[in-house]
Structure 1
Amino acid sequence: MSSLPIFIAAVANSADDPIYPVLFTWSNHDGEIKEVLVIPDDEWLEQAPIEPNAQHISEQQLYEFGHEAQDILTEWLSELDTDVVYALEPEQVSPLVEAIFAVKHQDPSFEVRSVSEWYQLQGENFHAIIEGEELSTPLHLMSPDEQVLLILQLAADNNLLPDLT
């Protein structure tokens, strides 16, 4: 059975000096989108505080509604059966993924690559597709869940996804 690629987005503790994640959004092989707030590890907070961010996520929200890195890692290891996930900005998302795995002294079980690379493997130009869309908000300024949803939707609209039936 075919499965969908996994797309991921994240919000870091700081836009200027990202050290750890405060939010992850990802799609799974069935096209479901999941989002989770991340409770900061004590070591992370020793390195850097949580600064104001575009998603207005506060430290209090993380402790009230977030999940421990170990819980996120357990879910990823059981759900994300892949060697590669794709992000709009892999150079920013990859260190945040690494931070989750590092809590348990593990190396990531998957690599974070560019969404553009996945589209290119499908014979399409992601940037050309985005330019053809009339987006009211630029993709990089959208919330992580909007980013992942739009990337999946554009792939579906361009017949790049396998039929899951």
Structure 2
Amino acid sequence: MKAWRRAGRPRYIARMTDFTLDPRLAADTVPVGDLGLCSVLLMDDARFPWLILVPRRPGLSELTDLAADDAAALWREVHLATSVMQALAKPDKVNVATLGNVVAQLHVHVVGRFLSDPAWPGPVWGFETRKPYPHHARAQLAERAGAQFAAA
């Protein structure tokens, strides 16, 4: 996808200038980069390979808050993130979900699941305590994910 931008570079156009990432998402994730609509984040939880897509539009909490063009773009980006997750982690299943019970800001979880993971077959949410990656492993995984998005 040509719109891929690595995290840390200037990336917002005029209509996105009011966008602010929810502090809870910022605290639990590492930026990977940006697609046309969404910022891509890596959940800092070594138990599960986990990406989060956040549309860079202010004030969104529900899928129905998106304009029709943005809703279509979100679906394309979720599809791409699912493909990236499959290439990155080779999971048995990829779970895609929007919850928003704790963080109201619209965001989409793309979680690689394995028959052998500690929460299988239940949900990952609320299962034990998050286990952050070692810093070098987190940086390496974020870089690999970014490379997968850039190549797509």
TM-score category, normalised to shorter length: under 0.3
Which of the two has greater strand per residue?
A: 2
TM-score (norm 1): 0.26
Which of the two has greater helix per residue?
A: 1
Larger radius of gyration, structure 1 or 2?
A: 1
